[in-house]
Structure 1
Amino acid sequence: MVDVQESPFKLALRRVMGRLARRDHSEQELRQLLSDLPASVVEGVLQHCREHGWLDERRLLEQAVHSRAARGQGPRKIAFELAQRGLVGDQVREQLSAEGYDWFELAAQLAQRRQGAAPLDLAARRRLMGFLQRRGFNQDQIHYALSTLSKPGSP
């Protein structure tokens, strides 16, 4: 049962903690969650979460990029999904260009798994390009991936 005397701050903090207990959220997502409350309460709750390390967008970025790259998503798709969560700018670009992420090689691995040993005719090439584009790879990465596959008639 909710205490009718509970302050707006405590109610907002409880709401935020319920969300943060499941997964990390961006500041924008939490602001949206608390949009029905006064700005001073929202700022207080966000500041409290930052001070306690519960709201850490750098950690969120690292985890999001790592998990999506592990699922075979390219940098463009990852950046788009992060922007929808309110994460844009230099930190996103830094994380996407961090060491350990070779987007060209990831695109090549996906292309190899998708195509297998089948010859790469024009129709298969187009399908594979579309697949890699939907996964969020840029044209240079896609061309590199296609260049690593065997050509028609090649062993």
Structure 2
Amino acid sequence: MKITGEESPEELREEARAIVLRQLAMMDRSRQQLLDAQISRGVPEEIAIEIVDRFEEVGLVDDEKFAAMLVRSRMAEKPVSRTGLARELSRKGIDREVADAALEEISPDDEREAAIALAEKKARSTRGLDDAVRRRRIYGALARRGFNPDQIMHALRSVLDDTDDSSY
């Protein structure tokens, strides 16, 4: 249904519910993502909030679970830093306190291992290039994922300095 502004409040609520259900059928979403999806389709903000509140009451929307799931899946899928994850959670509308609690799952060792794993992957793809070029490309790849300079330098030393070039 296309919202024209002539719908009754009940018709708007029904369309808002349908939007939320379609969004959740594709993947888990944060409260803010669901609000944005409804508002961008013309649902009045007060109705959008009412509908998302109801979905929270029944447990279908839970930002804490969403944030924890996102952190776990991102760390398993592709190496990323706490900073990178914090940025992503913020973009998805997760409150700072909720994001911080989810990020507590990541230990400094996990983050260090993630940086090394990404550096190893990038080292394999840059094999045969000049050492300075390889270092620059690996450094850039890690920086784009939010790793800080100390973590990047540790990963570079671990991957490039501690191994012979034939393995990477």
- Give TM-score, length-normalised by structure 1: 0.81
The amino acid that maps onto 1:29 is Q
Gap regions ≥5 residues in structure 2: none
Give the whole-Å Cα distance in 1 for the aligned partners of 2:147 and 2:100.
Answer: 15
1:88 and 1:44, CA in 2 relative to 1: closer, same or farther beyond 3 A? closer
1:28-67 deviations in Å (ceiling 9; x for gaps): 1111122233333222211110011111111111121122
Who is 1:72 aligned against? 79
Who is 1:53 aligned against? 59
Give the whole-Å Cα distance in 2 for the aligned partners of 1:104 and 1:68.
Answer: 15
Who is 2:139 aligned against? 129
Give the whole-Å Cα distance in 2 for the aligned partners of 1:154 and 1:25.
Answer: 45
Q: 2:21 aligns with which of 17, 24, 32?
A: 17
Gap regions ≥5 residues in structure 1: none
Q: 1:98 aligns with which of 84, 100, 105?
A: 105
The amino acid that maps onto 1:108 is I
Question: Does structure 1 conserve the Cα–Cα contact (< 8 Å) formed by 2:67 and 2:99?
Answer: yes
The amino acid that maps onto 1:73 is V
Residue pairs, 1:2-13, within 5 angstroms:
7-13=11-17
- 1:14 deviates by 1.6
Who is 2:91 aligned against? 84
- 1:154 deviates by 5.9
Question: Does structure 2 conserve the Cα–Cα contact (< 8 Å) formed by 1:28 and 1:85?
Answer: yes
1:153 and 1:109, CA in 2 relative to 1: closer, same or farther beyond 3 A? closer
**Root mean square deviation of aligned Cα:** 3.0
1:147 and 1:94, CA in 2 relative to 1: closer, same or farther beyond 3 A? farther
Give the whole-Å Cα distance in 2 for the aligned partners of 1:153 and 1:16.
Answer: 51
> Could you tell which deviates more after superposition, 144-153 or 41-50?
144-153
1:30 and 1:140, CA in 2 relative to 1: closer, same or farther beyond 3 A? same
Q: Greater share of helix residues, 1 or 2?
A: 2
Q: 2:36 aligns with which of 32, 43, 47?
A: 32
Question: Does structure 2 conserve the Cα–Cα contact (< 8 Å) formed by 1:74 and 1:136?
Answer: yes
1:102-138 deviations in Å (ceiling 9; x for gaps): 111110122123224x698333212211111112212
Q: Which has the higher contact order (CA 8 A, sep 6+)?
A: 1
What is the aligned-residue identity percentage? 29
